[in-house]
Structure 1
Amino acid sequence: MRLDWYERVIGPLLFRIQAERAHHAVLTGLGLVSRIPGSGQALRSLLSVPQDARLAIEVAGLTFPNPIGLAAGVDKDAIAVSGWFALGFGSVEIGTVTPCPQAGNPRPRLWRFPAEEALVNALGFPSAGAAVVRERLVGRRFPGPVGVNLGKNAGTPLERAAVDYEAGFLALWDVADYVVINVSSPNTPGLRTLQDPVLLGYLVEHMKEVDRALARLHRAPQRPIFVKVALDLEPMVLDEVVDVLIAVGASGLIVGNTSTDPSLRPSSAAGLPGGLSGRPVQKRARDLLARAAERADERLVLVSVGGVMTAEDVVERIRLGAHLVQLYTGLVYRGPRFPAAVLRQLLRTLDEGGLYAVGALRGRLPRS
């Protein structure tokens, strides 16, 4: 059975309603898949999701069944985790989760620009809070790693941001396979100040101390800690951030969050608050990934997100040095078949190159 009905009926219908309402409609549908026994496997079969050992990758002490992840921001409150895995994702990143519930910014706060294949979002961390997310994850098992992306509450002063990150970590440590410190959203005033390499180093060191204490308490392995930075980071600052993360023992770097650069925006988006994602940020995401890969020299796990709109984009990001690649806006414009299409393209690329595993693609740039 083909999914032409999605392109012909469901997709156009979703694009006729306001962007955030469409987002919630998708979450509701996949939430049902997550709750109804057997529906996830049925969806995988319908989508012909490849399952091949060559797609697996082991990084940061975790095994990812494939390198394609759902980016933070799509499922902030862990509503449809099993549903995302059923689409073919190898990992799902929940959040951004704040310690206390908060409504986020006033609506409208999410806009689509189909001609440019772009989104602008000014959501401002709407979150059900760490306790609700914990309740939805505790005791459950998933076919791939689940990451938890942590942020601070809007009302928390910047100088007390570490308290909020710690509170989220304490609440969610044992239900997270990895944890992300989000210091790069443009929609929480002052948050990007924490991307300063010195401040970031102190914050990650503190979180590492908390992680060690929790691991001793639970008699369990420590959690990999990743940091998510913005695509607007100056290249030389990115170098410093990479150096600091290596020095303090962070596991990885996610490059990167949405852009506020007005030069990248569609003209019809001028004056809107929030950050831009999608095709317009593609080149910047590639460039920063390549620079981070050169600087890190295999000492950090690198996750690329931003402007990933085709299966070929995923192959390119891995060739440029990404261990993992996350989707957000590309999923909005390509629909539910996109993850499976990416996996099939990865397998074709491995076959064409005579490669034994997806990790062997890293650093193999095609000849010009």
Structure 2
Amino acid sequence: MPDWSYQTLFRPLLFRLPARVARGLTLRAMGTVSRMPGGTLLIKALGHMEPAPLLATTFAGIRLATPVGLSGAVDPEHLATRALAQLGFGFVEAGPITPRPIRHAAPIRLDVEEEAIVYPSAYENEGAEAALRRMRAPDHALPQFARLAPSPDADRVQAIEELGALLDMFGGEHSVAALVIEGVSAARSRDDNVHMASRLTAYLTGPNRSKPCLLYVPLDFPDEWLTELLQTADSSVWSGFVIGDAIGGKEGATVGRDGKSACLAKVALVRSQAAGSPALLASAGVHAPVDALELMDAGADYVLLHGGFVFAGPGLPKRVNEVVQHRKLAELPGGEADPPFWRNWGWMCLLGIGMIIGGLIAWHIATSTVLLSYDEDFLGMTGSEVSAIAPHLLHFMSHDRITLAGTMISIGILYYRLAKHGLRHGLHWAKTAVLVSGAVGFPSFFLYLGYGFFDPLHAAAAAILLPMFLLSMRRNPDRPYRDPVNLRNDKTWKRSLWGQLCFIVVGISLCVGGIVIATVGVTNVFVPQDLRYLGLTRETLDLANPRLVPLIAHDRAGFGGALLADAVMILILALWGLQQGARWLWWTLLAGGAPGFLAGLGIHLSIGYTDFVHLLPAYFVFALYVAGLILLYPYLMKSEDAAVPLADEGEMPVQRGEVPVGRKLD
């Protein structure tokens, strides 16, 4: 469920349901998909969320693929952890985990305007035994952080006993990477908190500390108490701190966008007062990529997503990863130089130019003689003799060839643009788009085997262009995207998701259309509307010349294969390639689609083949194409008002042998 479907289709429907029902439906659906054969691959393919190696960090000997974690409150019953783990997270939290299950029948309330979730209790969970069973058999490979908490109504003596039992239970588990311990609470007195922190520190000193331990600091924990706690915290015991995301109140625990300001203050306080350089995880108010950057600039090393994941959508971890990657790239020396023209990408440019020239030549022939000399030799008839069979027959053959010519020009433009702006810079999605397109397009030449007409010009073009395609795929390793990326969930971003949805539907529709046309071309050749336009039956055509149908079949099958090759590029571009401010993408979509639609719709109108049912799919796709261009224009043609801000000079350097994403390299 990527953002382009979540924000546009599913979120409006889900938010009309009771929150518990909506959460259950969503997580069960995602979990079901992930458990199907190829399900996790589908989830990855839809979002292209595989994190870049540059994002990897190490916390207390634990490798984290990204600095973005998933809060345990998002999926408290572990219904979809396998699916959620594919979305770009570096670690997952399980919890809060209390000794016994805590359940509430009261509804969870969503405040859509304020982007807040109000839970009747912040401690709803299935209990320690059930949580441990699930953590022992995870259905994903991400590190698991167990967040342990005493019963909410426990006094300090009972709370210490319960935490000790939980530490004994989870501390020795190999599947648990780290322990997050709720040892302090705003609901207890200052003296109780000091006592509990002291007892926990004593307990974790020595052999009892088998894993990295982080102290959980509630978002509403008083700053003066926190300052005192930090001044006495033992850095040899506490590997770091987690700033919580819930604020307690009469209605329950509120998790939302407004928690960011309190979280920023807590992060800055911990970073300034804590001894050494402990890891710092911030979990409140991350609803957009810019929120994560602000917390990291304040001193956080990692962020946990909760409320923002619900309101912004499943693409939020990927978007945060992109801005963190952009930040890291900006702090590194200049990027790698583009490869020479002839090494790889230049060959794809030449291939694109060749396709454009070939399409223009084919268009000229289709609007003049229609048939080439070898076509007439194959038929044993001249063009005028073909016209004598039926007045519309040559027009019909011209319409097939012009639509193919327009598609060839579209493919050529896309190849050229993706080579110049994508392959040249090592963009993985662009390489995938042209690779899949070529893998579909070149074999489609052999569809002529369905009826046996061999096109020597088509064969010669394929023989010339195929080596260019192969040369363009060599020695071109992936490189990270260096241009600025989206920071905010503003109207421009939300509108762009509708535009993205339009182009994804365009890509899927054209893929289906290409497959259908190619299949018809090698089987029935004609659809009923074709024969009505011709005023003939297939049997009549066979009687007039038994080689007419194979010639027409060749044109139709070739057009279907070309349309599919064009469609997969549009689909992959729409799924993976859209980035705010990438003006070249908007012009690519405009220029790459226009020739195909001009040829396809124009020739039908020109020859009078205007059957509404026959053209309805084309009208539908064209409307989506225009709508997509309009909706994407503000997003693609204008960058963010401000580039990704860099951290201030002079901030505290890291002490763990790595560069924290939120602090400037010295």
One of 196, 199, 202 as aligned partner of 1:199: 196
TM-superposition CA deviations, 1:293-340 (whole Å, max 9, x none): 111254311111111111111122222211111110110101111111
Change (3 A) 1:191 1:39: farther
Partners of 1:319 and 1:35 in 2: CA distance:
38
Q: Find out whether 1:341 has 2:319 as its counterpart.
A: yes
Q: CA deviation at 1:246?
A: 2.7
Letter in 1 for 2:230: V
Q: Which residue of 1 aligns with 2:56?
A: 56
Partners of 1:195 and 1:348 in 2: CA distance:
44
Change (3 A) 1:172 1:5: same
TM-superposition CA deviations, 1:93-139 (whole Å, max 9, x none): 01111222232x4402x211111112222225222222212222214
Q: Which residue of 1 aligns with 2:118?
A: 120
Q: Find out whether 1:291 has 2:279 as its counterpart.
A: no
Q: CA deviation at 1:228?
A: 1.0
Q: Find out whether 1:83 has 2:83 as its counterpart.
A: yes
TM-superposition CA deviations, 1:39-76 (whole Å, max 9, x none): 22321221111421110111222111000001232222
Contact 2:287/2:307 (8 A) holds in 1? yes
Letter in 1 for 2:231: D
One of 320, 325, 336 as aligned partner of 2:303: 325
> Tell me, what secondary structure is at the counterpart of 2:328?
helix
Change (3 A) 1:192 1:87: farther
Q: Which residue of 2 aligns with 1:268?
A: none
One of 165, 169, 172 as aligned partner of 1:171: 169
Q: Which residue of 2 aligns with 1:150?
A: 148
Change (3 A) 1:316 1:298: farther
One of 215, 219, 222 as aligned partner of 1:231: 219
Contact 1:322/1:362 (8 A) holds in 2? yes
Contact 2:115/2:311 (8 A) holds in 1? yes
Change (3 A) 1:358 1:3: farther
Q: Which residue of 2 aligns with 1:316?
A: 294
Contact 1:67/1:325 (8 A) holds in 2? yes
Contact 1:226/1:254 (8 A) holds in 2? yes
> Tell me, what secondary structure is at the counterpart of 2:49?
coil
Q: Which residue of 2 aligns with 1:267?
A: none
Letter in 1 for 2:22: A
Q: Which residue of 2 aligns with 1:265?
A: none
Partners of 2:225 and 2:56 in 1: CA distance:
32
Change (3 A) 1:194 1:101: farther
Q: CA deviation at 1:248?
A: 6.1
Query: Which region of structure 1 is more displaced relative to structure 2, 116-125 or 304-313?
Result: 116-125
Q: Which residue of 1 aligns with 2:160?
A: 162
Q: Which residue of 1 aligns with 2:244?
A: 256
TM-superposition CA deviations, 1:192-212 (whole Å, max 9, x none): 878723322212432455734
| Unmatched segments (≥5 aa) in structure 2 | 336-656
Change (3 A) 1:81 1:208: farther
Partners of 2:184 and 2:12 in 1: CA distance:
32
Letter in 1 for 2:269: R
Change (3 A) 1:231 1:125: closer
One of 652, 655, 659 as aligned partner of 1:359: 659
Partners of 1:26 and 1:359 in 2: CA distance:
37
TM-score, normalisation: structure 1: 0.83
> Tell me, what secondary structure is at the counterpart of 1:116?
coil
Contact 1:231/1:285 (8 A) holds in 2? yes
Runs (4+) off by over 6 Å: 192-195, 355-358
Q: CA deviation at 1:36?
A: 3.6
Change (3 A) 1:2 1:308: closer
Letter in 2 for 1:198: H
Q: Find out whether 1:133 has 2:131 as its counterpart.
A: yes
Query: Which region of structure 1 is more displaced relative to structure 2, 117-126 or 319-328?
Result: 117-126
CA-based RMSD of the aligned residues comes to 2.8
Q: CA deviation at 1:191?
A: 5.8
Letter in 2 for 1:131: E
Change (3 A) 1:3 1:273: closer
> Tell me, what secondary structure is at the counterpart of 2:85?
helix
Contact 1:19/1:111 (8 A) holds in 2? yes
Contact 1:246/1:299 (8 A) holds in 2? no
Contact 1:30/1:83 (8 A) holds in 2? yes
Change (3 A) 1:167 1:67: same
Q: Which has the higher helix share?
A: 2
> Tell me, what secondary structure is at the counterpart of 1:88?
coil
Partners of 1:205 and 1:363 in 2: CA distance:
32
Q: CA deviation at 1:290?
A: 1.1
Letter in 2 for 1:151: A
Contact 2:282/2:303 (8 A) holds in 1? yes
| Unmatched segments (≥5 aa) in structure 1 | 213-221, 262-271
Partners of 2:51 and 2:235 in 1: CA distance:
37
Contact 1:278/1:330 (8 A) holds in 2? yes
Contact 1:179/1:226 (8 A) holds in 2? yes
Partners of 2:23 and 2:163 in 1: CA distance:
27
> Tell me, what secondary structure is at the counterpart of 2:109?
strand
Letter in 2 for 1:319: D
Contact 1:147/1:178 (8 A) holds in 2? yes
Q: CA deviation at 1:352?
A: 3.1
TM-score, normalisation: structure 2: 0.47
Matches within 5 A, 1:241-252: 241-246=229-234, 249-252=237-240
Partners of 2:185 and 2:14 in 1: CA distance:
26
Contact 2:64/2:143 (8 A) holds in 1? yes
Change (3 A) 1:15 1:140: closer
Q: Which residue of 1 aligns with 2:106?
A: 107
Contact 1:346/1:358 (8 A) holds in 2? no
Partners of 1:249 and 1:60 in 2: CA distance:
12
Letter in 1 for 2:254: L
Change (3 A) 1:18 1:184: farther
Partners of 2:148 and 2:117 in 1: CA distance:
22
> Tell me, what secondary structure is at the counterpart of 1:359?
coil
Change (3 A) 1:35 1:83: same
Partners of 2:79 and 2:54 in 1: CA distance:
30
Partners of 1:45 and 1:185 in 2: CA distance:
42
Q: How many residues align?
A: 341
Q: Which has the higher strand share?
A: 1
Partners of 2:208 and 2:38 in 1: CA distance:
36
Contact 2:99/2:151 (8 A) holds in 1? yes
